[in-house]
Amino acid sequence: MMRSALALLTVVFLASGANAQEVGALVTNNTGDTAWVLAASALVLMMTLPGLVLLYGGLVRSKNVLSVALQTGAVASIVSVLWIVVGYTLAFGDVGNGWFGNGRAWMLIELTNLRGGTTVPESTFVLFQMTFAMIAPALMIGAWVDRARFSWVVIFCALWSVAVYAPVAHWIWGGGWLASSFGTADFAGGLVVHTTAGVSALVVAVMMGRRRGFPDKPLIPHAPALTMVGAALLWVGWFGLTGGSAMAATDDASSAIINTHVAASVAALVWLLIERINFGKPTAIGWATGAVAGLATITPAAGYISPGAAILFGALAAVVCHFAVLQVRRWGIDDSLDVFAVHGVGGILGSLLLGLFMSSALGGTGYPEGVTPAGQLGAQALGVAAVALWSAVLTGILALAINIFSPMRVKKKHEMEGLDISSHGERGWHFTD
């Protein structure tokens, strides 16, 4: 009788659709929230595979398109394995000293039925966060196309995901020192993903040096149509990145997606306008770059601000990131696909603007109790400084250390031949009569 009564109680509880809670010793999840986060995980995965493959593949010369695709696939694969082994527990293990998570979830051996503070299983949370860990190092690939050695790329990105990405994720999302002690906020990765990847990409671009012929010889993208398709996939996938970060199928998720979409739309249009004024013609690559700049800029704030503020975020993203692209090139740095200028600067810009537009007076969600606009802006600035410094220093150390036994750059003759043939013995395209 007792067993039957408990079973009946469990069935009634599950049928009610209530949020996660305890029934005796039983803890269940909200199936609607879980389904949404699982779907969002697939959308974020699509951003890397195939989104970045197409975006970056179209921007390089035809002799290097396959190398970009393979680097992206290999990085996504090895980071996924490392996330299971050690990355997740460093980022989201139980809080210890505020810098790294503890070893509770090493190899995912002790996952809980529910991730604390959510209504979804911890395994669902692991999967969702894995897709973030994958795209962050994959973004950096755009900084060294045409000239990086494949083995160096894979080793560097693998170690970077453990030494740079995982600790920063813990500082902000895992209960670490930036969030708990200073209140630094990042809704979906402006600091954790875009600032880490953007700053690190700039450091590597400086260390690796310019491509042969840059900037005197035009290095023309071979397939802008592929770039537009890749950007479109990123745009759709970004709905999972920001909407999924709400961790529930609620108004928070839909509001974040609306803000994401409008910011990307405005940024793409403003970028086209800038091109029309400066160069006489709007371009497909300009539309794609503008959209991605808007997406990167809205990411840290998507769930905290109003749609009206998101319009402003998009417009500023296009203006500031366009200026950053030109400035990096004036410095003579060959950040080949503008990773720092678009993702790094966009993530930093959005993180700082968040400090102002979180205000309820401007339609935002409001500041935590006792926090002023100046205080939140200071917390965001501290977060930007800490994340940028950590990313730059650790990136330099890792890049140099790996270069000792696996040189970061291919030989001149291999670069001239193209990495598709020289590094992989294949061609991205085969044309026949």
Report if residue 426 sits inside a domain.
no
Tokens encoding 129: 């966060």
pLDDT in tens, 58-77: 999 999 999 999 999 999 99
**Position 424 in a domain:** no
Helix (H/G/I), strand (E/B), else coil: 225: helix
Percent pLDDT > 90 in the chain is: 87
Degrees to nearest 5, angle at CA 166 with 161 and 169: 130
Q: How far apart are CA 199 and CA 345, in angstroms?
A: 9
Residue 167: Cβ within 10 Å count: 20
pLDDT higher than 60, residue 1: no
Q: Is 429 within a domain?
A: no
- 369 vs 70: CA distance, rounded Å: 48
H/E stretch holding 292 reads: helix 284-298
pLDDT at 217: 79
Q: Could you tell me the residue range of the domain that residue 228 belongs to?
A: 31-411
Q: Average pLDDT of the chain?
A: 92
Residue 76 lies in a domain: yes
Q: Is residue 303 part of a domain?
A: yes
**Are 79 and 134 a contacting pair, CB within 8 Å?**
yes
- Is 50 exceeded by the pLDDT of residue 14? no
Residues 409-414 have a mean pLDDT of: 95
Of residues 258 and 18, more confidence is placed in 258
Report residue 101: phi and psi, to 5°: -75, 160
Read off the pLDDT of residues 258-302 as tens digits, 9 standing for 90 and up.
999 999 999 999 999 999 999 999 999 999 999 999 999 999 999
| Residue 109, token pair as written in the block | 């051996």
**Residue 96 confidence (pLDDT) above 50:** yes
Q: What is the CATH number of the domain that holds 296?
A: 1.10.3430.10
Q: Does residue 419 sit within a domain?
A: no
pLDDT at 26: 52
Q: What is the rounded distance in angstroms from the CA atom of residue 65 to the CA atom of residue 71?
A: 10
Do residues 66 and 422 make contact, with C-beta atoms less than 8 angstroms apart? no
* Environment class of 346 (CB within 10 Å of its CB; exposed 0-12, middle 13-18, buried 19+): buried
The answer to whether the beta carbons of residues 397 and 129 sit under 8 Å apart is no
Query: Each residue of 126-148: pLDDT tens digit?
Result: 999 999 999 999 999 999 999 99
Residue 24 within any structural domain of the chain: no
Mean pLDDT, range 162-181, rounded to an integer: 96
| 8 pLDDT higher than 50 | no
Collapsing DSSP to helix, strand or coil, 26 comes out as strand
Taking only the tens place, the pLDDT of each residue in 190-221 is: 999 999 999 999 999 999 999 988 887 778 99
DSSP sequence for 305-321: S-HHHHHHHHHHHHHHH
Residue 335 has pLDDT above 50, yes or no: yes
Retrieve residue 144's tokens: 């060294």
Looking at residue 28, its pLDDT comes to 77
pLDDT for residue 308 is more than 60 = yes
Query: How many C-beta atoms surround the C-beta of residue 240 within 10 A?
Result: 27
Q: What is the pLDDT of residues 217-264, one digit of tens each?
A: 778 999 999 999 999 999 999 999 999 999 999 999 999 999 999 999
Residue 94 to residue 100: CA distance in whole angstroms = 9
Q: Of 42, 17, 47, give the one whose Cα is nearest residue 29.
A: 17
Contact by Cβ (8 Å): 353, 126: no
Count of C-beta atoms within a 10 Å radius of residue 24: 8
CA 351 – CA 230 distance, rounded (Å): 25
Rg (CA), the chain: 22
How many other CB atoms are found less than 10 A from the CB of residue 105? 23
Does residue 26 fall inside a structural domain? no
Tokens at 205, concatenated: 């671009």
Domains identified in the chain, total number: 1
- Band of residue 432 on the pLDDT scale cut at 50, 70, 90: low
